[in-house]
C-alpha cells in the first residue's frame, strides 16, 4: 500500500528535550516537505528537500533540523532551541503537478 507514514501520531516531550519525528514514503518521489500547523495560523514551511543529501530551510527553520540520507526518509528533529514546539507537524511529498502535495496523517507534539 503506497503512501506516507508519519510516526508517532502523538508525542509528549519535556522542555529541554530533543525529539525526532519520522516521515517515510514508498512512492519514490524526490521532493519532501515538513510543515507546522498551529490553530489560526495555517501551515508554515519548516524545511524541504528536493533530492537525497540536499535540503533547504523554509520560513520557520529555527530550532529544527532535518536529514535526507535516503530517498524514502525525511526525519525532522525538534530541538530544545525551538521556543514553542507544541504543534501539529505535517510531512508531504510532491505528487503530480506543481503544488500538488500529498500529505501524511501528521504528528501532534505536545511539550509539557
Partner 1 sequence: AQSVAQPEDQVNVAEGNPLTVKCTYSVSGNPYLFWYVQYPNRGLQFLLKYITGDNLVKGSYGFEAEFNKSQTSFHLKKPSALVSDSALYFCAVSRLSGTASKLTFGTGTRLQVTL
Residues in contact with partner 1 by CB under 8 A are 4, 31, 33, 35, 40-45, 48, 50, 58, 90, 92, 94, 96-106, 108
Report strand pairing: 107-111 vs 10-13: parallel
Residue 110 C-beta: closest distance to partner 1, Å: 13
Distance between CA 4 and CA 36 in Å, rounded? 16
Distance between CA 34 and CA 47 in Å, rounded? 5
CB closer to partner 1 out of 7 and 50: 50
CB closer to partner 1 out of 10 and 20: 10
- Residue pair 33/103 in contact by the 8 Å Cβ criterion: no
Residue 80 C-beta: closest distance to partner 1, Å: 26
Residue 65 C-beta: closest distance to partner 1, Å: 19
For 18, the grid coordinates are 530533543
Distance between CA 15 and CA 12 in Å, rounded? 10
CB closer to partner 1 out of 16 and 99: 99
Residue 49 C-beta: closest distance to partner 1, Å: 11
Amino acid at each position: 500500500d503506497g503512501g506516507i507514514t508519519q510516526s508517532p501520531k502523538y508525542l509528549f516531550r519535556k522542555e529541554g528535550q530533543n525529539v525526532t519525528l519520522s516521515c517515510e514514503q514508498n512512492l519514490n518521489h524526490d521532493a519532501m516537505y515538513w510543515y507546522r500547523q498551529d490553530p489560526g495560523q495555517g501551515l508554515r514551511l519548516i524545511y524541504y528537500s528536493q533530492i537525497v543529501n540536499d535540503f533547504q530551510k523554509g520560513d520557520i527553520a529555527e530550532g529544527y533540523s532535518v536529514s535526507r540520507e535516503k530517498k524514502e526518509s525525511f526525519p525532522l528533529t525538534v530541538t530544545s532551541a525551538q521556543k514553542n514546539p507544541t504543534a501539529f507537524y505535517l510531512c508531504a511529498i510532491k505528487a503530480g503537478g506543481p503544488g500538488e502535495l500529498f500529505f501524511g496523517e501528521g504528528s501532534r507534539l505536545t511539550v509539557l
